Amino acid sequence: MNMWKKYGKGNFRVQVGTEDWVFLSDADDIGIMLNHPTELGKPLERNTAFLPFFGNSVSTSEGERWRSTRKLLSPSFLYKTLENRIDVINVNTERLFNIFDDYVDKGSIDMYRYLRPFMFDILCDSLMGVNLNLLDNPDHHYLNASAKVIRIITHNYFSYWRNIRPLFVLTSLYREMMDTIKSLRDTSTEIMAKRRKKLQKIIEDTKIINENVHTEVEKIIEEKDDMCLLDKFILSKSIIGDSLPDEFINEEISLICFTGHYTTTMTVSHTLYCLAKYPEVQKRVYEEQMSVFDNDISRKLTHHDLSEMKYLEAVIKESIRVIPTVTKIGRQLKNDVVLKDGRIIPAGSSVIVFLEAMSVNPKVFSEPEEYNPDRFNNNIHQFAFVPFSAGPRGCIGN
């Protein structure tokens, strides 16, 4: 950020050893990069840091592996599909509020401690069809392990010596990393086993109704409301007709469980911080909630209610702008890319979509130092706010 300010608050290039890194903070150029039809690869260092944890999952893979996995994932993230999961939110929110009620008149509460298992339970229940009830056990080994992931990945990214495996495996850092990975993978294995057990009963019950259903697995997935994302991984076949390997499924589940609960928890935490910092904004959010619920705060949330929370949505977006959940998105160029002004980023460069800088770029956001949710009720540049990336490789968790 200091370099961005020093060199004119625009795009700039850094040489790191023999490598070129180009940082983009202009919305038009970011649009060119994220919308590029073929330049979809992630930076090599980033992938190297991610691979031990999440393998060749949809986050790091390219080519046919990425395309086929993305195609398999997409239906589970459609609004129509997620509408059917609103009860999961209601059940888990009530559990969370019951915990918060115990703290009334008893001092402060570490909300992050409970928001992480809360978000994990929602994600796991809605996408995996399994609830591990981590909210009842905020010291669960998975939560303790996942709390270390970002720190370890960041150190792996910037510490080149960690790529010298014969040296790295001798260190306590390596042992910590492997213990962390084991906790993540063991939890994914447990989730898969629990869902397979449930899924087998669903299939057996359905066969009783239609004895030919075993020949129409895809039809089961499409028609039954209780089919979830994990079911599709378990029931899908490879191009040669074999079931997907457990290792393949485990990599994808480990990635989705971690990134899904971590990013949403951070976003909610940052939003709550901003609401506490700006009481006038908090007041407007509260008034909107009371209006949506018609002053009946005990009523269960509906999908329509969510669509009515326009100001809250703007507040969440402004909180992401002020405190980006993800500060940078990377691409590794295979070919030259031409920017808006005609300058060329050469093949082989690492391009950094510098979201942290763009969020405070006065050419993109007027008065960026002001916390102003209403800016999102006005027209902004299509690529001024892309916290989930955009284009062909945009984050499916949007």
Query: Does 6 have pLDDT greater than 70?
Result: yes
For position 187, which CATH number holds?
1.10.630.10
In a domain, 243, yes or no: yes
Tens-digit pLDDT profile for residues 303-337: 999 999 999 999 999 999 999 999 999 999 999 99
pLDDT interval class at 19 (50, 70, 90) = confident
Query: Does 215 have pLDDT greater than 60?
Result: no
In a domain, 147, yes or no: yes
pLDDT interval class at 107 (50, 70, 90) = confident
Q: For residue 329, what are the β-bridge partners?
A: 353
Per the prediction, the chain carries an average pLDDT of: 91
pLDDT of residue 238: 67
pLDDT of residue 209: 67
Query: Does 165 have pLDDT greater than 90?
Result: no
Q: Are 10 and 299 in contact (CB under 8 A)?
A: no
Percentage above 90 pLDDT, the chain: 73
In a domain, 242, yes or no: yes
| Half-sphere exposure (Cβ direction) of 233: Cα atoms closer than 13 Å | 30
CA 340 to chain centre: 30
pLDDT of residue 378: 87
In a domain, 33, yes or no: no
Residue 192 CB coordination number (10 Å): 20
Q: Indicate the burial class of 121 (C-beta count within 10 angstroms; 0-12, 13-18, 19 or more).
A: buried
In a domain, 380, yes or no: no
pLDDT of residue 45: 83
Number of domains in the chain: 1
For 124, the domain range is 69-257
In a domain, 317, yes or no: no
The strand pair at 350-353 and 19-24 is best described as parallel
Query: Does 83 have pLDDT greater than 60?
Result: yes
Tens-digit pLDDT profile for residues 122-163: 999 999 999 999 999 999 999 999 999 999 999 988 887 888
pLDDT of residue 367: 95
Number of helical H runs and strand E runs in the chain: 18, 6
In a domain, 206, yes or no: yes
Which tokens in the block code for residue 93? Answer: 């929110």
> Taken in order 382, 387, 393, 398, is the CA torsion positive or negative?
negative
In a domain, 138, yes or no: yes
Query: Does 176 have pLDDT greater than 80?
Result: yes
